[in-house]
Chain A
Amino acid sequence: MKEVNRSIHKKEGMGLSMGKPAYTDDLVPQNALIIKVLRSPHPYARILNINTEKAEGLDKVKCVLTYKNVPRNIVTRAGQGYPEPSPHDKFVLDEYVRYIGDEVAAVAAEDEETAMLALKLIEVEYEILEPVLDFEKAVDNPSIIHTEEEAHEMFPIGFQPKRNIAAEYHMSFGDMEDTLENCEYVVTETYYTQAQNHTAMETHSCFSYIDIQGRLSIVSSTQTPFHVRRIVAEALGMPINNIRVIKPRIGGGYGGKQALHGELLSSLVTIRTGKPAKLIYSREDVFEASYSRHPMRVVVTIGADREANIKAIDMNILSNTGAYGEHALTVFMVAGSKTLPLYNKADAVHFGGTVVYTNHTPAGAFRGYGAIQGNFALESTIDILAGNIGIDPMEFRAKNMIKEGEGSPIFKIMGEGTEGVDMVMESCKLDFCMKRGLELCGWKQKFPRKQVAANKVRGIGGAIAMQGSGIPAIDMAAATIKLNDGGFFNLMVGATDIGTGSDTILAQIAAEVLDVSTDKIIVYSSDTDLTPFDCGAYASSTTYVSGNAVKNAAIKMKAQIEEIAAEKLGVRAEDVEMIDGVIKAKSRDASITLSDLSTQLYYSHKQKQLMTCESFSGEVSPPPFMAGFAEIEIDTETGKVDLVDYTAIVDCGITINPNLALIQVEGGLVQGIGMTLYEEVKYAESGKLLSNNFMKYNLPTRNEIRKLTVEFAKSYEPTGPHGAKSVGEIGIDTPPAAIANAIYNAIGVRFTKLPITSEDILLALRKKRS
């Protein structure tokens, strides 16, 4: 391997460091209208009257949108493949507002001041409706959140709007009752996870304009430009061929930019006024009026026999999708489908539950995508059960966990919204991850606890996790490679680099096949007019799905180059090989450089453009695996909890770019650590989100992160591009359970609700003492 498995610098890294204009707001045309959104002050209300005359009377106001003057086509903004597994339950604007922050009206003005003033001049009379704020009381609540006739599911997802149910699903195999009856040890526990916010540093941003051909162009900070094009066309009822979506540099996504945000309103303003318009969310908008992680209640039962073999797992979930059903079914299903196969020898497994509507900020895709919620519940329960059996929890895991060459019935039964695909683990180094992690974290010396001072105790705890590599049989990616004169290539991909470095690693994948250095591959991503289709950056798909498409396109390009070179050299195509930018005949001393060949090809000899385009859609979704170990320290007088060290050993196959893979894991860990210890979501009784800015929503700072120890297992995935699996999400999954387990091991208190703050710990310690 020459170009892959190398820590090549990110192609755009220096440009971004030097502050070059690159992001959506950097590129807005100077005369763009500023859009501001009037948001609902009520969690649930119907607009009886809305008077926009005064706002429209302002000189600089160019457009006011309300539900009365926008197209009424119902869509889902989820940003998924088509048909979507999310219910269609959202109009551009509606007479009903379903959470505090929901869109009432939009104003476009020549400057921000006027736009803000215009918002104040809009008079709205509301009929206030009884909101559903407690998700455990949502099902069959007298207050129904989606009463619109047009709301529908695209295929059966258990959509029951009259019962406030956005989705429902159940699966099982084996005889649960009988199996549990025969288990020596059975544990049941209930867990709650919170609505974590992505907090990408670049807030949701987009602008739109009409180009010289009269087409609508949208520049958006999105993970899914092709889905944006499709959904805008659908929502606005306009021909898809009149829309172009451009993805510039993205200032962080983590799933939060999979769905649509301002694109619908911005597009409509541009269409109505003919003027460029931009909609940049404030931080408060992002918190209150975009998407967050689905809060869940997860009830887990695990049964094991006398020999500590796991025989039965039952997982019941109630998930809260908020006011709209983006990713309702799929996030909830992944909570099972990407955790239950970890213990693949159970005789009886049941998974099921409902996803409910409430009058809260909608939930959506977020790195981990259900797996982190499910993992917290499953991996906490594993520790409780191990404690009851009297076996070391990591030994208990090692005895029961999935191994290379094995499968799980879950893979076939559960996909994302549909049936899944059968899989055998061709690469699974979980056993190594476990063994190496135990060594590195000093488990033997530290488990379960160590008193380090009179008031300070340290505990250690672990968890294992798996994720996927794209959605098999659903996600598709394509890549185009173009040979240029001078012997360099353009790689055009619909894959959306959202800051991960995927442009660079996709170039590395192509360079490896073409046997040129990565700097000879110029990457462009992504523009619906210029690049081939790609479902987008989600479901840990870019390295595996887009990477395989790039690899295929490069293989085809190499064959075409060799064919033309062979002809030029007067030998058969099988008799040449391209090495390091030179095509040589194997049988005799003749060669031509790629640079010369391509220049001749375009200017003088057999003139013909070489360009290849290949696609990939996975038949399987090989999971990356990891073992995570948290060492925490608790001050028993104050409750203060510190994370001393987090050890993570990851099997993601071959790392295409080891440094970028490392940062993916470290970044994922810290988001998981944030969800576990710091990121508290608080609502007022009125349904108002209180934790709506960085003063109130605690992100981990660099002072909270003392030490991360990350290593990669030696692993090779045969179906992956050059042996790679995904690495984008796996890092986030283990911290909640590993840290909760470590806290239990330190102080003997089991926390089942996230986040676990120092205050919670102090209260629990006091309760325990009294």
Chain B
Amino acid sequence: MKINFSINNSAKSIEINPSETLYEVLNKCGFSSVKKACGTSSCGICTVLLDGKPIPSCSYLAAKVDQHNITTIEGVQQEAELLGDLMNREGAVQCGFCTPGFLLTIIAMKKELVNPDIQQIKNYLVGNLCRCTGYEGQLRAIRRYMEVGR
């Protein structure tokens, strides 16, 4: 089947298999920044933004993104640079495998939540697992990021 959607504001019209997940399709399109780690939408690694909202692409049928807008980290490079720098200041990018999906979720959170407290931040990001950092370094960076532009 054919789907029409946009990736990072660039229109795409592609032939897909109805059973393919969005992760598989993005991978075929060469977006290697989108990674898969669990296949059960439990870890947040494969996160992309669907019309600005984070979704797990490993468990999302590609057919459903027809007429929608998908954002990967390649589509928000300026914001990723700002946030990535804050993360790196804390040493909080370790293996980095979860980083693109995690940064996308944080970027979406900043747009969605107004002045969130620490618990609201944690609740928003709870689906993004990290096995390296122990989360605290990330939180130190996120607190700084949420202050930017306020």
Please report A residues at the B interface, Cβ cutoff 8 Å.
Answer: 7, 9-10, 12-14, 16-23, 25-26, 198-203, 249-254, 282-283, 498-501, 657, 659-660, 662-663, 666-671, 693-695, 699, 701-703, 705, 708
Q: Does B92 sit within 8 A of A, measured CB to CB? A: yes
Choose among B40, B80, B126 the residue that contacts A701 (Cβ–Cβ < 8 A).
B126
Interface membership of chain B positions 88-101, coded 1 if the CB is closer than 8 angstroms to chain A and 0 otherwise:
11111111111110
Contact B73 A18 (CB under 8 A): yes
Contact A10 B88 (CB under 8 A): yes
A170–chain B nearest beta-carbon distance, Å = 36
**What CA separation (Å) do A696 and B84 show in the bound complex?**
31
Nearest neighbor of A710 in chain B, beta-carbon distance = B136
Contact A21 B40 (CB under 8 A): no
**What CA separation (Å) do A16 and B97 show in the bound complex?**
8
Contact A200 B131 (CB under 8 A): yes
Q: Does B42 sit within 8 A of A, measured CB to CB? A: yes
B3–chain A nearest beta-carbon distance, Å = 19
Choose among A7, A18, A251, A667 the residue that contacts B84 (Cβ–Cβ < 8 A).
A18
- Residues of chain B within 8 A (CB-CB) of A663 are 90-92, 94, 132-134, 137
**What CA separation (Å) do A660 and B92 show in the bound complex?**
8
**What CA separation (Å) do A338 and B14 show in the bound complex?**
58
**What CA separation (Å) do A249 and B128 show in the bound complex?**
21
Contact A17 B93 (CB under 8 A): yes
Contact A694 B81 (CB under 8 A): no
Q: Does B32 sit within 8 A of A, measured CB to CB? A: yes
Q: Does B129 sit within 8 A of A, measured CB to CB? A: yes
Which 10 residue pairs of A and B lie closest in terms of their CB atoms, listed nearest first? A19-B33, A499-B95, A17-B84, A16-B96, A251-B97, A666-B134, A659-B91, A694-B42, A670-B134, A13-B88
Contact A498 B95 (CB under 8 A): yes
Contact B87 A252 (CB under 8 A): no
**What CA separation (Å) do A7 and B81 show in the bound complex?**
19
Contact B94 A501 (CB under 8 A): yes
Q: Does B25 sit within 8 A of A, measured CB to CB? A: no
Q: Does B39 sit within 8 A of A, measured CB to CB? A: yes
**What CA separation (Å) do A486 and B128 show in the bound complex?**
44
Choose among B42, B85, B103, B139 the residue that contacts A702 (Cβ–Cβ < 8 A).
B139
- Residues of chain A within 8 A (CB-CB) of B95 are 200-202, 249-253, 498-499
- Residues of chain A within 8 A (CB-CB) of B123 are 703
**What CA separation (Å) do A18 and B133 show in the bound complex?**
18
- Given the interface contacts A13-B96, A283-B37, A660-B91, does A705 sit within 8 Å of B81 by beta carbon? no
Choose among B37, B74, B91 the residue that contacts A201 (Cβ–Cβ < 8 A).
B37
Contact A23 B129 (CB under 8 A): no
**What CA separation (Å) do A539 and B145 show in the bound complex?**
36
- Given the interface contacts A18-B80, A667-B134, does A251 sit within 8 Å of B129 by beta carbon? no
Interface residues of A, dominant DSSP: loop
**What CA separation (Å) do A666 and B135 show in the bound complex?**
8
- Residues of chain A within 8 A (CB-CB) of B103 are 17
- Given the interface contacts A9-B88, A201-B131, A499-B95, does A19 sit within 8 Å of B72 by beta carbon? yes
Contact B135 A705 (CB under 8 A): yes
Contact A201 B97 (CB under 8 A): yes
**What CA separation (Å) do A19 and B103 show in the bound complex?**
10
Q: Does B146 sit within 8 A of A, measured CB to CB? A: no
**What CA separation (Å) do A37 and B33 show in the bound complex?**
26
Interface centre among A198, A200, A252 (most CB of B within 10 A): A252
A467–chain B nearest beta-carbon distance, Å = 17
Contact B93 A694 (CB under 8 A): no
Choose among B35, B88, B132, B137 the residue that contacts A14 (Cβ–Cβ < 8 A).
B88
Sample (13) of A-B pairs whose CB atoms are under 8 Å apart: A14-B81, A18-B73, A18-B80, A19-B99, A201-B45, A251-B96, A283-B40, A662-B137, A667-B134, A693-B40, A702-B126, A702-B130, A708-B136
- Given the interface contacts A501-B91, A657-B91, A705-B136, does A17 sit within 8 Å of B129 by beta carbon? no
Nearest neighbor of A701 in chain B, beta-carbon distance = B126
- Residues of chain A within 8 A (CB-CB) of B97 are 23, 200-202, 251-252, 499
Contact A702 B135 (CB under 8 A): yes
**What CA separation (Å) do A500 and B103 show in the bound complex?**
19
Nearest neighbor of A695 in chain B, beta-carbon distance = B40
Contact B83 A699 (CB under 8 A): no
